[in-house]
Amino acid sequence: MLFFQRYKIAKFGPMKNIYLDNASTTALRPEVITEMTKVLTENFGNPSSSHAFGRSSKNLIELSRKSIAKQLNCNAKEIIFTSCGTEANNFIILSCIRDLKVNRIITSKIEHHAVLHTIEVFQKQFDIQVDYVNILEDGTVDYNDLEELLNDDKKTLVSLMHVNNEIGTVLNLEKVVSLCKNNNAYFHTDTVQSIGKTKIDLTELPIDFLVASAHKFHGPKGIGFAFIRKQIVLQPLLLGGEQEKGLRAGTESVHNIVGMAKALEISFEKLEQEKIKVSKLKRYLIEQLNLNFTEISFAGNPEDTFYNVINVILPFDENKTSMLLFQLDMNGIAVSRGSACQSGSVKPSHVLKAFLPKELLQKPNIRVSFSHNNTKDDIDYLIDILKKI
């Protein structure tokens, strides 16, 4: 896209700006900006006000809720707007412990920190049992271990993410739903990376809770939602007014809510064509990596991981790890690495540490995550720069 092709002078010659970090966040769709601008301009009424200005804002919120519910085939009453995916995860996990009296959580070491850290804190605060399901060497959940862990009388919540944000491994939702139902456990899934990128039918699939974040599917930042199945009664997350059925007080962010609904609507409208395009890009990257480098490895099996994410382990010397992202950045390429730099040393991420063998953990890795805005040229440029590092 032209938008991404500002030329600068870089270490290895003229460079472009290439965004390959769509699992971190995505660019807004132009139609979403138009819709949000309209709301910001015309619908400033407080949705709780009873006059026409307020009523029109309230109407937009409820239309957005219905539109989101329609995409997921659930009831609009089951959608609660939050400020982000993290908040929705916190709300659900806290509510399960506090309101549903869950005293045991089964989760995994490869969850996003929005789930992992939340569970760690509540484990201490509420003195609950936490068990971590085994992760296999391809980064997937060991379903046999999950089944064994579920064989227990404690009131249990299973919290497992759908698509892993670092490696793209995909949870078999049908399987986990059925295991949870057979063992009377609640099932929460962090679907931040998959909502808007794959169909989820909540009437067919009786998941109890899921969460979404608009900025991952070309919507605005600062808005997300929790799906809470109808029969499940929870106490408020935020106390105050009656917004969001009294579950989350505070004046609603009308433009963000409308923007999120619009983004989801377009994502589903274009899902098949964009999925084909993005899958081809991922395939092309795998081919080019194999063609240009010997001993390329991947975290997770790239044939099975989600179509927009790939985690590449590069056959570079360990000492190149700390400079890799910096050098890519200096050349206009935005990717992430599942590692955190601390005081000059590079530590592998908690996700990779959970299943990769030691020799692969020592090698530099990058996470490349695509959107429909990317092209083959972006990949050629990435390969070109990687070859020069």
Active site (catalytic) residues: 341
Q: Which is nearer to ligand PLP, 57 or 86 (CB)?
A: 86
Ranges within 263-282 binding ligand PLP (CB under 6 A) = none
Closest separation between CB of residue 25 and ligand PLP, Å? 8
For residue 326, CA distances in Å to 4, 175, 240 come to 19, 41, 45
For 30, other C-beta atoms within 10 Å of its C-beta total: 11
Q: Any contact of residue 97 with ligand PLP (CB under 6 A)?
A: no
Return the range that interacts with ligand PLP (CB under 6 A); candidates 129-137, 188-196, 294-302, 350-358: 188-196
- What number of residues does the chain have? 389
Q: Which is nearer to ligand PLP, 25 or 75 (CB)?
A: 25
x/- map, 164-183, ligand PLP, by CB under 6 A: -x------------------
Q: Any contact of residue 220 with ligand PLP (CB under 6 A)?
A: no
Closest separation between CB of residue 166 and ligand PLP, Å? 8
Q: Any contact of residue 198 with ligand PLP (CB under 6 A)?
A: no
* Measured distance CA(183)–CA(147) in Å, rounded: 9
Q: Any contact of residue 192 with ligand PLP (CB under 6 A)?
A: yes
Structure-block tokens of residue 284? 């092309």
- Quote the DSSP letter at residue 140: -
For residue 284, CA distances in Å to 117, 279, 311, 377 come to 36, 9, 14, 11
What are the DSSP E strand ranges found in 5-159? 8-10, 13-15, 18-19, 79-82, 104-107, 129-132, 156-159
Angle made by CA atoms 360, 285, 340, in degrees to the nearest 5:
40
Q: Any contact of residue 114 with ligand PLP (CB under 6 A)?
A: yes
**Of the candidate residues 139, 219, 224, 302, the single one contacting ligand PLP (CB under 6 A):** 224
Angle made by CA atoms 96, 199, 115, in degrees to the nearest 5:
30
Beta bridge partners of 135: 141
What are the DSSP E strand ranges found in 249-328? 297-298, 309-313
Q: Any contact of residue 112 with ligand PLP (CB under 6 A)?
A: yes
**Of the candidate residues 84, 92, 171, 210, the single one contacting ligand PLP (CB under 6 A):** 84
Return the range that interacts with ligand PLP (CB under 6 A); candidates 80-88, 254-262, 284-292, 303-311: 80-88
Q: Mutual orientation of helices 321-330 and 376-388 as an angle, nearest 10°? A: 130
* Measured distance CA(224)–CA(244) in Å, rounded: 13
Q: Any contact of residue 213 with ligand PLP (CB under 6 A)?
A: yes
Side chain identity, residue 1:
M
Q: Any contact of residue 86 with ligand PLP (CB under 6 A)?
A: yes
Side chain identity, residue 298:
F
Tell me which H or E stretch contains 376.
Answer: helix 376-388
Q: Which is nearer to ligand PLP, 22 or 331 (CB)?
A: 22
x/- map, 282-321, ligand PLP, by CB under 6 A: ----------------------------------------
Closest separation between CB of residue 306 and ligand PLP, Å? 11
- # residues contacting ligand PLP (CB under 6 A): 12
Name the residues that contact ligand PLP, by CB under 6 A: 84-86, 112, 114, 161, 165, 190, 192-193, 213, 224
